[in-house]
Copies of this chain bind each other. A is one copy, B any other.
């Protein structure tokens, strides 16, 4: 099946091992606008996007919403800091369109990891992936200006950028919706 294939490829798993992992997965469908994870909760599961798009965002004191992450098919989601440390999360995760996800509960993952040294070795993959993604984001913010960042985002997720509200994208890029609107206009030429 497709899901297995993509998830397995992403994680370097196959056959029985992949099946073992899928055994503890919970499938869930969300509608556009559904909140998958609430602020001030402790994140006790990690997720994988089968189909759709999510945003992980933070509401600032001013009331302004800032997109911390925009994620699509094949991406993992969840506030990994809260998952790791057990601290309450400041983030909200919301579906930007109808979305199917697989959820893995921390308790199930921990049990799996304890069950077999294979999974103990495997468990490093999670923070490794999180770190690499985070590093890319830093490089994006540090090495490029707003316009270049938008360009790179377009390359990274071309179909999605056209479909989701502009304001989610602008705060992800660290600019105002108006600025992004003008950048778009500029780029058309």
Contact = CB atoms under 8 A, between A and B. Distances in A.
Interface of A: 58, 60, 66, 68, 80-81, 84-85, 117, 120-121, 123-124, 127-128, 130-132, 134-135, 137-139, 141-143, 174
Nearest to A121: B120
Given A81-B132, A84-B132, A131-B134, A68 B142 contact: yes
B128 A84 contact: yes
A39 to B, nearest CB: 15
Contacts of A138: 68, 134, 137-138, 141
Contact of A123 (B84, B124, B139): B124
Contact of A143 (B58, B120, B123, B132): B58
A123 B130 CA distance: 15
A145 to B, nearest CB: 10
Main secondary structure, interface of A, reads helix
Contacts of A85: 132
A66 B127 CA distance: 26
User: A-B pairs with the 9 shortest C-beta distances?
Assistant: A134-B134, A127-B127, A141-B141, A131-B131, A130-B131, A127-B128, A127-B131, A137-B138, A124-B124
Nearest to A172: B142
B60 A131 contact: no
A141 B68 CA distance: 11
Given A60-B143, A80-B131, A131-B131, 15 more contacts: A66-B142, A68-B139, A81-B132, A117-B120, A120-B120, A123-B124, A124-B127, A127-B127, A127-B128, A127-B130, A130-B131, A131-B134, A134-B135, A134-B137, A134-B138
